[in-house]
C-alpha cells in the first residue's frame, strides 16, 4: 500500500472550500487523470480515469461526511483499491487548510513503477494546487450538499434504530447550499493507517 498526505492553504472561507469538494462531478476540473465522475446516489460515485495510459472504471463509497470538517471514502469492488479522507480546517474567516490523505494499492506495472518514483505523491500535490486555483479563481462554490453520513452507514455495518435517519440536510447532491447546518460532536473517522482505521474491503 502507498500512503500519501498533502496539505494546502486556500484563500476562501471554510464553508466555500468544503461545499465545493462535495461537488464530485466537478473533480475532472482539477484532478489529474480523472476523466469523469458520475454521482450515483448520496454515498456512491462512478469514476472513469486514465493514469499512465491505463483506463479504469470503479465505484467509491463515502463512509463518513461531516460538513465543514471531513469526507472519507473507499473504493468498492473492481481492481482499484483505495481509501482516503479530506479534512478542512478554518484558519480565519477567509482562509482554509485542506488536507488530503490517501492509501492506495498500485495495481499495474505502470502504476507500481510510478509509485516507486513518487508519481502519486506529486499528482495529489498537483490536485490540491489546482483545487486552490479553481476556488480562488471562482471565489464561490459551484454547488453544495450539507448532509451528514456516519460511519455506521457503511455497507458492512449492521443497521441499528439509532442510525436512522443517517442523512441530515436537504435534497440531493449538487444543489445550491440552503444554509442549513448539521449537528456537531459526531465521532471522528481515522486517517488511513491510524488506530481504528477499518482498512480496505
Give the whole-angstrom CA distance, residue 176 versus residue 196: 34
Q: Specify the DSSP element, H or E, that contains 72.
A: strand 70-76
How many domains in the chain?
1
Q: Where are the alpha helices (DSSP H) in 5-147?
A: 14-21, 109-116, 119-138
pLDDT per residue over 98-154, tens digit each? 999 999 886 665 555 555 557 889 999 999 999 999 999 998 999 999 999 999 876
Q: Which residues pair with 104 in a beta bridge?
A: 2, 82
pLDDT at residue 93, as a whole number: 98
pLDDT at residue 188, as a whole number: 40
Give the whole-angstrom CA distance, residue 145 versus residue 67: 8
Q: At what angle do helices 14-21 and 119-138 cross, to 10 degrees?
A: 120
28 occurs within a structural domain: yes
Q: In what order do the strands lie in the sheet with 44-51?
A: 2-10, 95-105, 81-92, 70-76, 54-66, 44-51, 34-39
CATH number of the domain at 55, please: 3.30.530.20
180 occurs within a structural domain: no
Under-50 pLDDT residues of the chain: 158-189, 198-201
Task: Report the alpha-carbon angle 196-66-147, nearest 5.
Answer: 135
pTM for the predicted model, two decimal places? 0.76
Show the domain range for 127: 2-157
170 occurs within a structural domain: no
Amino acid at each position: 500500500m502507498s500512503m500519501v498526505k498533502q496539505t494546502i492553504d486556500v484563500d476562501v472561507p471554510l464553508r466555500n472550500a468544503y461545499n465545493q469538494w462535495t461537488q464530485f462531478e466537478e473533480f475532472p476540473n482539477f484532478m489529474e487523470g480523472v476523466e469523469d465522475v458520475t454521482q450515483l446516489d448520496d454515498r456512491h460515485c462512478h469514476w472513469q480515469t486514465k493514469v499512465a495510459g491505463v483506463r479504469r472504471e470503479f465505484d467509491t463509497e463515502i463512509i463518513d461526511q461531516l460538513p465543514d470538517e471531513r469526507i472519507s471514502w473507499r473504493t468498492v469492488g473492481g481492481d482499484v483499491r483505495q481509501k482516503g479522507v479530506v479534512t478542512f480546517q478554518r484558519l480565519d474567516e477567509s482562509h482554509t487548510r485542506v488536507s488530503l490523505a490517501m492509501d492506495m494499492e498500485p495495481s499495474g506495472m505502470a502504476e507500481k513503477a510510478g509509485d516507486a518514483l513518487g508519481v502519486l505523491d506529486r499528482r495529489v500535490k498537483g490536485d490540491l494546487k489546482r483545487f486552490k486555483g479553481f476556488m480562488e479563481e471562482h471565489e464561490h462554490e459551484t454547488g453544495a450538499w450539507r448532509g451528514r453520513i456516519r460511519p455506521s452507514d457503511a455497507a458492512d455495518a449492521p443497521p441499528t434504530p439509532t442510525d436512522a435517519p443517517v442523512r441530515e440536510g436537504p435534497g440531493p447532491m449538487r444543489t445550491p447550499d440552503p444554509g442549513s447546518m448539521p449537528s456537531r460532536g459526531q465521532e471522528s473517522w481515522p486517517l488511513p493507517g491510524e488506530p481504528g482505521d477499518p482498512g480496505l474491503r
